[in-house]
Chain A
């Protein structure tokens, strides 16, 4: 094993995340290479420093402020499962497709006449205030470092929850990486 490969494996080796043979290779190389052994010892010291601290001292009164904050909220007791909104949306979509099919089937087809099914509006129009906008809120890519872009979009779902999508692109070791995370709250 080369020194560069050994040092690249320090992190997973430290966490016990290497497979048996690979871990054995790293261990044997450290044992036989004074330079890598020194690097490994320094690495371990750095990791111990990170794990050593007890964390910042909690400021006085934080407990009371935190309690005040959560007691001021109302728990969402609506037992809507995570897919509830999607299921309701799916149900509406199925209804609309069925309604469209019924409209198309009821119209006799005449050659040369374009059939453009008009989806019947399932709900009667009731005058009232305009529905609240659910705008997309894309944010411009925020480069966190050269070659690294991050983009976040937010969307308010019909049930009032917010879907946040974060996408990142970066280049590391000559390899392009992409990650995407989505949360719904």
Chain B
């Protein structure tokens, strides 16, 4: 029998568990009541994830910085309206998604079909490799692999890239990702499957013999 693979989560940015959700909710409630320290804690927890999400969505680190700033500015402005029924993570990613799309539309950018050299920031990509995780001999291969993954993601149409980033990279459930994207779960699942298939095709040269 074949089971689902145990996909290891990134150890440098572990996905929040149930207790973290409760902490986030407590912090956000306090922030909504005027506790700036609580909102500072929220920002500290989520800033890097939101920035990484924006980089993957936009393929541009400068724009991603703007989106990260805009996200938390909007979140702070609206924190009094946050309700415990919404997970803080989903809420923040929705704001970030909207901020990123606003940036894209403002710039009147056509749908992305960038080549690896056009949009990817290799400095940011190199920083993704866990410290000490690779020998000097394998590091070059891993960098190439990493760039290939980023390029493959960047090459996806936005409709499919967003579900892939939310589910496959950020580890969101179908329900959470559907809420962020603004569609129902079935549509999300369809787009995710299509995006993953396109990604797999793009990564075939890097997946070894079985990737034929």
**Taking beta carbons and an 8 Å cutoff, which residues of A are in contact with B?**
8, 10-17, 26-28, 30-31, 37-59, 62-63, 65-80, 82, 139, 142-145, 148, 152, 164, 166, 168, 170, 172, 177, 179, 181-183, 185
Contacts and interface: CB of A to CB of B under 8 A. Distances in A.
Contact of B75 (A68, A70, A77): A70
B23 interface: no
Given A42-B204, A62-B68, A66-B68, A48 B13 contact: no
A46 B145 CA distance: 11
Contacts of A57: 123-124, 126-128
Residue with the highest number of chain B CB atoms closer than 10 Å, among A40, A66, A68: A66
Nearest to B39: A70
25 contacts: A10-B197, A11-B192, A17-B174, A42-B200, A43-B196, A45-B208, A45-B210, A45-B211, A46-B199, A49-B203, A54-B13, A55-B128, A56-B52, A56-B56, A57-B128, A58-B48, A69-B70, A70-B72, A70-B76, A72-B73, A74-B77, A145-B111, A152-B105, A172-B194, A185-B78
Nearest to A152: B105
B90 interface: no
A102 to B, nearest CB: 37
Given A65-B69, A69-B72, A75-B79, A54 B204 contact: no
A51 B2 contact: no
Nearest to B44: A63
The dominant DSSP class at the B interface is helix
A148 B13 CA distance: 35
B27 interface: no
Nearest to B159: A144
B2 to A, nearest CB: 5
A51 B7 contact: yes
A51 B168 contact: yes
Contacts of A68: 69
Interface string B43-59: 11001110110011000
A56 B121 CA distance: 9
B73 A56 contact: no
A50 B68 contact: no
Given A67-B40, A179-B183, 11 more contacts: A11-B197, A14-B196, A26-B2, A30-B2, A46-B200, A55-B51, A66-B43, A69-B70, A75-B32, A164-B98, A182-B182
B55 A56 contact: yes
